[in-house]
Amino acid sequence: MPALWPELPYAKWKDTCATLQLWTQIVGKVQLALTPWLNHSWHVTLRVSARGLATPLIHAPAADFQMAFDFVDHVLALRCADGRSRVVKLRPISVADFYGEAMDALAALGIAVGIDGMPSEIPDAIPFREDRVHASYDAEYANRFWRVLLRIHEVLTHFRTGFLGKSSPVHFFWGSFDLAVTRFSGRPAPLHPGGVPHLPDAVVQEAYSHEVSSAGFWPGGGPIDYAAFYSYAYPAPAGFADAPVRPGEAFFSKDLGEFLLPYDAVRTASDPDGTLLAFLQSTYTAAADLAQWDRARLECSLGRPRKPRPLP
């Protein structure tokens, strides 16, 4: 059996990671083009599946369909409710070629869709049609990445059960390439300044329209060259950066404005699930206490299988 929490050294798969992020953006933008807007951009996220990452059901005039990255058989599968399907093989090809094959597969199913051809949230981005720079696909590391997401999804899902207030699904953002869950205080937040590369300010401002405590997992890149868990608050309350959090390997990054916990600190812990839960709970507690959230109204005990939540 493969390790439950496999190694995921960013340096060994960073080229595949960069290519895969762009491939997921192509799929995500198809979903974006065909799905009514839902608060905080929740309508465009991917979900961890039993074989990879998948869109929810998408409704188009020609078909009800899903698109799914399968990191076991290494294909992008397009499946329609009427039984028709197409696949694009995942292999070392350029973003431009993947874009062409994915669009051809959609056209073969009668699904006509035009997407924004510029990647989002990536500085110095290359349009999908023109990108022959990113063309890596290491199947072993793509599979490892998915297996990491499986374990993290389990812990984030459990953590989500301890909150009665508004909470996001546990979902994957293809723009920033991270798995996240977000809790809301219920109060409006100050207008976000925007400024995210290749992302309209209106999208960012709507996403952060209300106070949040958000946490998740990022495989690495840019300012950090390792996989890590993160947790941040918007707006960040006074004293948040200096709040005590667990475990001891967690720290506040002034550059990113959020707490980080290296993935390896969780992977190698005697109790990985408990270590990650401690990080999620302690960073949320810091945000909620310092911002004076109504915790008594918003929180509850963690959920258990087959046990209805007791009423007060």
- Asked if residue 254 belongs to a domain, the reply is yes
- Asked if residue 303 belongs to a domain, the reply is no
Do the beta carbons of residue 276 and residue 155 sit within 8 Å?
yes
The per-type count for the chain, helices as H runs and strands as E runs, is 7, 12
- The confidence band for 241, taking pLDDT boundaries of 50, 70 and 90, is very high
Overall domain count for the chain: 2
From 66, 98, 130, give the residue that closes a domain.
Answer: 130
- Asked if residue 105 belongs to a domain, the reply is yes
In the block, residue with structure tokens 């918003």: 298
- Asked if residue 22 belongs to a domain, the reply is yes
Do the beta carbons of residue 228 and residue 265 sit within 8 Å?
no
- Asked if residue 308 belongs to a domain, the reply is no
Question: 60 and 125: one domain?
Answer: yes
100 HSE (CA, 13 A, CB side): 8
Question: 161 and 263: one domain?
Answer: yes
Give the integer Cα–Cα distance in Å for 258 and 254. 7
* Residue range(s) defining the domain that contains residue 208: 139-298
The model's pTM is: 0.97
3-state secondary structure of 138: coil
From 82, 111, 130, give the residue that closes a domain.
Answer: 130
Question: 287 and 233: one domain?
Answer: yes
Question: 153 and 99: one domain?
Answer: no
Q: Average pLDDT of 28-41? A: 98
Phi, psi at 210, each rounded to 5°: -130, 155
Return mean pLDDT, the chain.
Answer: 97
3-state secondary structure of 47: strand
Instruction: Of 55, 74, 86, 68, give the one whose Cα is nearest residue 16.
Output: 74
- The confidence band for 312, taking pLDDT boundaries of 50, 70 and 90, is confident
**Residue 137, token pair as written in the block:** 């696909």
Question: 107 and 255: one domain?
Answer: no
From 130, 154, 169, give the residue that closes a domain.
Answer: 130
- Asked if residue 194 belongs to a domain, the reply is yes
